[in-house]
A = this chain, B = another copy of it.
């Protein structure tokens, strides 16, 4: 696994949950599908649970399920739930910020990134989990535009 692949993992897991509606899938079972570790699955899905996207239950036959229909879950929901920034923040050295130029560069970049982030979020909102699932299960291709 390379770097920040949490969003990919989350989406993959969600498609699996959607593909077996009503069924409780355990972290271990999902981890096998996602080729990762059960703890990683719990960490990621735990964040989605707090955002009300999935539910979890303990004990025998416990596991994870979708909280609502896949048509009602957008990629933005998932992205926001993970609290990730897709844009790499270009932070400067703390010792650097006494320089007016650095502060200026930082400020401009910060403003730009905030703005761009909002743009991306709006774009992600237009793709639903069900679009992804449709693409994965059939030959169809979700339109992004």
User: What number of copies of this chain does the assembly contain?
Assistant: 2
Asked if A37 CB lies within 8 Å of chain B CBs, one says no
B136 A106 Cβ-Cβ under 8 A: no
Q: Which residues of A contact B (CB under 8 A)?
A: 1-8, 11-12, 15-16, 19, 33-35, 75, 86-93, 95-96, 99-109, 111-112, 115-116, 119-120, 123-124, 127, 131-132, 135-137, 141-142, 144-145
CB distance from A17 to the nearest CB of B (A): 11
**What residues on B are CB-neighbors of A11 within 8 Å?**
105, 109
Complex CA distance for A112 and B34, rounded to whole angstroms: 21
**What residues on B are CB-neighbors of A3 within 8 Å?**
88-89, 91
Closest to A141 in B: B107
**What residues on B are CB-neighbors of A107 within 8 Å?**
135, 141
B101 A15 Cβ-Cβ under 8 A: yes
When A123-B112, A123-B116 are in contact, do A4 and B88 touch as well, CB less than 8 Å?
Answer: yes
Closest to A96 in B: B35
When A87-B87, A120-B116 are in contact, do A108 and B92 touch as well, CB less than 8 Å?
Answer: no
